Amino acid sequence: MTVAKPGAKSTTATTLQTTLLAPVSVSGIGVHSGLPATLTLHPAPAHHGIVFSRLGRAGEPDREILADVRAVTATDFATVLGDAKGPLCSTAEHVLSALRGLGIDNVVVEIDGPEAPIMDGSAADFIAAVDRAGIRTLEAPRKYIEVLKTIRVARKDGASGELAPYARGFRVEAEIDFSEPLIGRQSYALDVTADSFRREISRARTFGFMRDVARLWSAGYALGASFDNTLVISDNRVMNPEGVRFADEFVRHKVLDAVGDLALAGAPLLGVYRSVRGGHGLNHAVLSALMADPTAWRLVDPAPARRPRSVVGAMVEPLGVPASGLPAGLAVPAYGPSVS
């Protein structure tokens, strides 16, 4: 086991699994429910994955669910994880984005309410929490999901998304097009690494329109939304006194959401995700379509110094599958703590 605090430099650990060095908590309110919640990230062993654990009334673990594309129960204005008993955690996408963005493979996300706290509307507080805890590198190779062919979903409203092969790690390209000139058409593309995610994406906040507030409230959404956690747009201007953090903060937040929603693949992706006028529903639809096609992806273990192993379209490694690893020299995403 090797241990590296965020920012530590190393050249050897970028394909090993990670967890946290210690538990760490953040507290706030849910942007939709308005309910207070404390979210605690706990270290977990190799191959554990990201598991959400909901505490019951007595403060004991009540239900657990693996963060997986099949656990999505709703995508209206937020990504909701749940099971046959119902929703377990709403608005899971921002903490998932921070965990995937920083390359945390194994963690228990414990939550004492129905919705993850929105904090400032971005992933910044979850990033800060991981920084406080520190990252532990585990002696187990990380597996990646390599996209082998393009999977595309197009909708009648003009939204479309696709996952496609990409030779240089994980990339997200997003485009949005709003009638308000303040936003208009924005596009953003990024090769996602721990460093680029932290610097360019993690601070981009949720946004919403004042004109939608009454409708959202009557439907039970946005009850906790405020200038503290949402960029609010009205009459073609940002209402928040502090203004925007980036001129294109809106599309950067779409990238943040996509990284979080695609974390539900269960392993880091090697591929490019392209989203046009997308949202949580589209992200989920594209990832579901990919995972449903066993010829569209394979699980790869690009561990250095030995022949990579791969399995086409399966989460377990059956016997007799011929090894066909990544091309030599492929740069996998530098998710590990070794990259700052």
Residues belonging to the active site: 280
Contact criterion met (CB below 8 Å) for 98 and 123: yes
Beta strand 86-89 pairing with 80-83 = antiparallel
Contacts of 238 (CB under 8 A, 6+ apart): 182, 231, 232, 244
Write down the least CB distance from residue 299 to Zn ion, Å.
Answer: 28
204 or 339, CB closer to Zn ion?
204
Separation in Å, CA 163 to CA 36, 44, 196, 218 = 36, 29, 20, 35
Stretch that binds Zn ion, among 52-60, 179-187, 208-216, 251-259 (CB under 5 A): 251-259
The nearer residue to Zn ion, 166 or 209, going by C-beta atoms, is 209
Q: How many CB atoms lie within 10 A of CB 240?
A: 18
Residues 297/290, Cβ–Cβ less than 8 Å: yes
Nearer to Zn ion by C-beta: 193 or 206?
Answer: 206
How many of the chain's residues bind Zn ion (CB under 5 A)?
A: 2
Which residue, 135 or 264, is less far from Zn ion as judged by CB? Answer: 264
Say how many CA atoms lie within 13 Å of 290 toward its Cβ: 31
125 sits near Zn ion (criterion: CB under 5 A): no
Contact between 163 and 273 (Cβ < 8 Å): yes
Residue 144 or 207 having the CB closest to Zn ion: 207
Task: Return d(Cα 58, Cα 66) in angstroms, integer.
Answer: 22
Minimum distance from residue 198 beta carbon to Zn ion (Å)? 17
Question: Is the separation of the CB atoms in 88 and 54 below 8 Å?
Answer: yes
Which region among 132-140, 182-190, 228-236, 250-258 touches Zn ion (by CB under 5 A)? 250-258
Q: Are 117 and 30 a contacting pair, CB within 8 Å?
A: yes
Residue closer to Zn ion by CB (options 257, 301) is 257
Q: How far is the CB of 256 from Zn ion (least distance, A)?
A: 6
Distance CA 88, CA 77 (A): 16
**In the complex, minimum distance from the CB of residue 68 to Zn ion, in angstroms, rounded to a whole number:** 19
Q: Which residue of 173, 249, 257, 261 would you call a contact of Zn ion, by CB under 5 A? A: 257
Least distance from Zn ion to the Cβ atom of residue 229, Å: 11
Q: How far is the CB of 145 from Zn ion (least distance, A)?
A: 22
Secondary structure (3-state) at 31: coil
Which of 26-34, 55-63, 146-154, 256-264 is the region at the interface with Zn ion (rule: CB under 5 A)? Answer: 256-264
Q: How far does Cα 123 stand from its chain's mean position?
A: 10
| Three-class SS state of 291 | helix
Window 180 to 219, contacts with Zn ion (CB under 5 A)? 206
C-alpha 313 chain-centroid distance: 22
245, 277, 210, 264: which is closest to 71 by C-alpha?
Answer: 264
Cβ-closest position to Zn ion = 257
Name the residues that contact Zn ion, by CB under 5 A: 206, 257
